[in-house]
Structure 1
Amino acid sequence: MGMNLSPDETLPCRWAPADDALYRAYHDEEWGVPEYDPRALWEKLQLDGMQAGLSWITILRKRDAIREEFDQFEPESIARWDDARIEKALQNPGIIRSPKKIQATIGNAQAYLDMMEAGDHFSEWLWAFVGGTPIVNQLEDISNVPAKTPLSEEISKALKKRGFKFCGPVIVYAFMQAVGMVNDHETRCRRHKEVQELHP
């Protein structure tokens, strides 16, 4: 039965395996879509930080449980966590049970709130690094993409200066790809063009 599918309908980016529905849905619906909501951006940065040393699919499979444990990633709530609340989280097998990563998330919530209080809108602050417009790369193969770039190093330094942790340049570049600050969909992938059209 010939379905006459064009290559871009059958070939997503090579990192999104067709036999993993969760990964494919993430690729097809979320990855690279420009995100402008400050709280959503902060959440994604925390999840990318939690990924350090692990695979992204591990985070993706635990994401719902992580969101539930971490108060739906409301910075105002997480910033107030005390030792007892940390201990409660550490008992949850559904999350990444790393004391360092949990402490970093609490500190990052405080850093986020400090920025907002100082009048630095987290989304506008981040997007200013790319001039408010996604960087559109022309990748034929995702394996050619660098782990970090001079810009991700610059953003990483700026975040650390503001008090953020688990935001090294490699984590920051993965974050930039995920939230659409950089379009790194392969050119053969239909999402390369689709996410470009989502930028207002």
Structure 2
Amino acid sequence: MKRRQLGSISWKTVEWGLLIAVSLIFVFPFLWMFLTAFKTMPEVYRFPPTFLPEAWQFENFQLAWKSGPFLTYVANSALVAAGILALQLLTGVPAAYAFARYRFPGRNLLFALTLIALMIPPQVIFLPIYVEMSSWGLVDTLWALILPYGASAFGIFLLRQSFLQVPDEVIEAARLDNASEWKIMWRVMVP
């Protein structure tokens, strides 16, 4: 009995040690970035680098705040993120629901094309997207950042896989309660 407890304790120690080591690997870049924000410019470029700043420079944050319209940048980022999220929900959820729950001609081909879209490197489509946005007159607008990402092949794939996990009995029960397909999709499948 004691031997089993000893083995369990030593295994837990190794497990916790590995978890802490991996956590430190992931946290270290953020800690380095945070501490570097307090360094002077020559100290940032010093080799070998120093971990802690020699003289803490709190003025760096004031300088960064005053260097541009920071609140505008934050608002633009929030608008772009919200716009992309809304469009991806409006396009991805119905597409994933159709791929998961309906049988129609060409379904497998369309889903394969969706998966093929995952293999296209983003760098390949930058120029065509710019040309398209330019022809629509959307260059230098937030719409040019939102529209190209309005549909996500990866999102459709993940949602489809999630929707396939919902038992058919749940959907049948919703249909017996006179729920429309729209209601089943948004009230049963998405949550």
Same-fold call, TM cutoff 0.5: no
The one of the two structures with greater contact order (alpha-carbon pairs below 8 A, sep at least 6) is 1
TM-score, normalized by length of structure 2? 0.26
Which structure carries more helix by proportion?
2
